[in-house]
Amino acid sequence: MGLQMKIMPTALHGVFVVDTQPFNDHRGAFTRLFCGRELASILGGRHIVQINHSRTTAVGAVRGMHYQSAPHAEMKLVRCLKGRVWDVAVDLRAGSPSFMRWHAQELSPDNACMLVIPEGCAHGFQALEPDSELLYLHTALYAPDFERGVAHDEPQLAIEWPLSVVDLSVRDQQHPRLPIDFPGLHL
């Protein structure tokens, strides 16, 4: 079975797309969702300590842009199990060569890609199909007191959402704008 994971860097420092094409035969398909050995170069000694699942019902709904601040900053590995999403990472790290830039990747079961989002990057997505489901692997436990966010429509970021935004949670509506002279996160 050709189940190796192909790791591809993006324009954002430390953000990767991992291609994990399924093995298909007459019975259906088999896909490796995670392999610590193959992802060791990305994980760099980190361990997956929490796995979450979300379902977003409305097409056009946005969840994000979320991150956890130090000392509970986390790397996220995100893949779509059902439907299709426009998954976005934003680099908020002070001194990063890709500071204040974003990368978007369509994720779906058909393309079998995973987006790897390191500490100091905000994450969010827009549902492109109804009842889209995501699987999140985290390198830090959820710490509500360190939960942070940035407005999905922050002008300094100018994220190009493919659809009109139709649904935001109350929490996501309250994410702050970045100050004009945003210094970035220090991890």
Q: Does 66 qualify as catalytic in the annotation?
A: yes
* Interatomic CA distance for residues 47 and 41, integer angstroms: 12
Are the beta carbons of 131 and 83 closer than 8 angstroms?
Answer: yes
Q: Which residues contact 180 (CB under 8 A, 6 or more apart)?
A: 156
- 3-state SS string over 122-173? EEEEEECCCCEEEEEEECCCCCHHHEEECCCCCCCCCCCCCCCCCCCCHHHH
> 183 near 156, Cβ under 8 Å?
no
6: nearest Cα among 134, 17, 29: 17
The catalytic position among 13, 136, 142, 175 is 136
Cβ distance 74 to 68 under 8 Å?
yes
**Which residue is listed with tokens 């019902």?**
57
Set 47, 66, 138, 142: catalytic member? 66
Query: What are the Cα distances from residue 111, in Å, to 77, 126, 159?
Result: 15, 17, 22
Residues that are catalytic: 66, 136
